Amino acid sequence: MSALILHGYWRSGTSYRTRIALGLKGLSYQQKALDLRRGEQHSPDYLKLNPQGLVPTLETEDGILMQSVAILEWLEEKYPDPPLLPRVAADRAVVRAMCGIIACDIHPINNLRILKALRHDLGASQDQVNTWIARWISEGFTALEAMVARYGKGFAFGDAPTLADCHLVPQVYSAERFNVDLSPFPTIRAAVEKARILQAFEQADPKYQPDAY
């Protein structure tokens, strides 16, 4: 059995970015799927692992880790080769800013529990939900497009995958899923297309996960 156990959901963006990072680091791991639509993340056994009842959770020899941003930083520190952060401090700050735009400003207000609240608590129609999603993705991607154009050399930053690509590819997947217009973001689309052909990104794709449906 693998020393790493990833609890996640096939279509979760945070689980997706964690799978990418694990793949880029060349790490084997066991997957334990939670069906978020059935509420399995709120089971008593899972809440003992992750009191938030969110995914992903990574079981490691160092302990139980939660929150994908923290997990990716742990992977970078624990398994530094190949590096997913640049060597120069200012460059690392740029990559972390790219990650932050997605992890802090786009994804949290478009995740499943927020969309459920919009539909069930506020009575939003699917068209209204789609408008909500497109608004926040497009706003964040406008900033990212400028940053990728400035700092990218094929990938989101530089000429090799970084943590920024781990975040960006799943967010583009989400945008495509909800039919967000990506034509204003050609540099982002090019970086994602380049990343997607790499084995780590392809194997992490939601459609290839054992719990996909």
Per-10-residue mean pLDDT, the chain, length 213: 87 98 98 96 97 98 97 98 98 98 97 94 96 97 98 98 98 96 98 98 98 93
The predicted structure's pLDDT at residue 5: 98
Question: Nearest CA to 172 among 102, 123, 111, 116?
Answer: 102
Q: Specify the pTM.
A: 0.96
Give the gyration radius of the chain's Cα atoms.
17
CA angle (77, 156, 109) in 5-degree steps: 80
Instruction: Report how far residue 184's alpha carbon sits from residue 14's, in angstroms, rounded to the nearest whole number.
Output: 25
Instruction: Report how far residue 33's alpha carbon sits from residue 35's, in angstroms, rounded to the nearest whole number.
Output: 7
Domains of the chain by residue range: 5-82, 89-200
The predicted structure's pLDDT at residue 1: 41
Over 91-103, what HEC string results? Answer: HHHHHHHHHHHHH
The predicted structure's pLDDT at residue 102: 98
The predicted structure's pLDDT at residue 2: 57
The predicted structure's pLDDT at residue 187: 98
Q: What is the CATH number of domain 89-200?
A: 1.20.1050.10
Homologous superfamily of 5-82 in CATH?
Glutaredoxin (3.40.30.10)
